[in-house]
Amino acid sequence: MRKNIFYTAILIAGLTFTTTACSNDDDNDTQSPIDLECTQNNVASWGNYMKVVATLLKNDAANLYSDWNNSYEGGDSYAEIFKKHNSTTFSSALNCVQQIIDGCYDIANEVGTQKIGDPYEKYEAGNISGALYAVESWYSWHSREDYSNNILSIRNAYYGTRDGSINDNSISKILANNGYSELNNQMIAAINKAYDTILDIPQPFRNNINSSEAEVAMEACAELANLLTNTLKPTITNNSTLNSNSTLDPIVKQYVDVVVLPTYLDLKNETEALYQTVSTFQANPSNAAFTTAALAWVNARVPWERSEAFLFGPVASKGLDPNMDSWPLDQDAIVNILNSGNYADLEWSGDYDEDNEDIAAAQNVRGFHTLEYLLFKDGKARTIK
């Protein structure tokens, strides 16, 4: 998730823990984004906007999988580039494993300090409205599931699998088989602790931002992040038995073929399924279609969140991460697009530049969370009023 550098205007009147409908649902221009409803009068534009967002999301996921599986910038697939590690970016299997560990550290640190920690700090400072806006996935009440799936992305990278088993060609096994069983056990315990403590936070997280359970989860994520960067990485880097190509090549191959590629294939398939459900809603709006599309959104979130330990390569260089998962949103701009139908505001072109404000503005009104806003209200699938 790319954390945007600015927050939208805080609409204090709308930021209550339960949603309150406005008395005039037909007047979109005078409603706060928090209170906006899908009505018979705006349902056509609602469906059109959702379909455009779902199309872009589907295309981004397909392009990301193609870059890794088929060809990246006209050459080998990124999977082959990574496994061959004969480029300026990756010159050895050790470089690749260091990247794997760095990706795990980045998301462990982000979950603890940003996804849980940023709302917590704002809440403790008395900025209640700012704290609520900082909670990712609060429209759907899916925050804890997103964060725990982030921890599973670390587990999968460390285990070399996606089912919770530990493969022989994994970072975990090379530690256990080369005199570092204690470190391996610490890693496994830290991963499990971070995962469990996140799910121990009472649901929904936005109602329990400053809970004792949230504090414990932040501490667990910090412990995991510290172990990854200050113990695991130097242990492998500085040990000639562990850091050789012959030892690490099978781990890199297993990681790419069994973790990264299947996760991105799932993302491609689930965003295609999400697009189909949104298209069904757009063609024939109904409460049942809302519910089906909301479930498809939840399903598509799983592979995305379980890919966040490997946010390097095309997903970073092409801006696909913020394209798909930018947070927080510019809700006012979303409502303006909903009213105007100016979907060109979602597009950008040229080389990606994370400091380009025009690109950021486009990314703030598309992706998973824009769909989440349009699909969910108060933790449930929307209904047509």
Q: What are phi and psi of 75, to 5 degrees?
A: -120, -150
Answer for the pair 117, 135: CB distance below 8 angstroms, yes or no: no
pLDDT value of residue 32: 82
Answer for the pair 222, 192: CB distance below 8 angstroms, yes or no: no
Tell me which of 273 and 14 has the higher pLDDT. Answer: 273
Q: What are phi and psi of 327, to 5 degrees?
A: -155, 140
Residues in the chain: 385
Averaged pLDDT for residues 364-372: 98
As a whole number, the mean pLDDT across the chain is 92
Tokens of 344: 């060109």
What is the third-level CATH fold of 34-381?
A: A middle domain of Talin 1 (1.20.1420)
Q: Is 19 exposed, middle or buried (0-12, 13-18, 19+ CB in 10 A)?
A: middle
Please tell me the least confidently modeled range out of 22-31, 91-100, 192-201, 245-254: 22-31
Examine the pLDDT at 23 and tell me if it is beyond 80.
no
Examine the pLDDT at 7 and tell me if it is beyond 50.
no
pLDDT value of residue 339: 93
Q: Distance between CA 211 and CA 200 in Å, rounded? A: 10
Q: Which residue has the tokens 């921890």?
A: 151
pLDDT confidence of 34, banded at 50, 70, 90? confident
Per-residue pLDDT reduced to its tens digit, 121-164: 999 999 999 999 999 999 999 999 999 999 999 999 999 999 99
Tell me which of 25 and 216 has the higher pLDDT. Answer: 216
Q: Report which of 76, 81, 77 is spatially closest to residue 96, judged by C-alpha positions.
A: 81
Residues 6+ apart with CB under 8 A from 297: 140, 274, 368, 371, 372, 375, 376
Per-residue pLDDT reduced to its tens digit, 269-311: 999 999 999 999 999 999 999 999 999 999 999 999 999 999 9
DSSP for 209-253, written as a single string = TT-HHHHHHHHHHHHHHHHIIIIIHHHHHT-TTTSSHHHHHHHHH
Work out the percent of the chain whose per-residue pLDDT is above 90.
89
Q: Distance between CA 245 and CA 367 in Å, rounded? A: 39
Rounded (5°) CA angle 311-348-137: 50
What is the distance between the terminal CA atoms of the chain, rounded to a whole angstrom?
Answer: 32
Q: Distance between CA 56 and CA 248 in Å, rounded? A: 37
Answer for the pair 35, 18: CB distance below 8 angstroms, yes or no: no
pLDDT value of residue 31: 65
Examine the pLDDT at 26 and tell me if it is beyond 60.
no
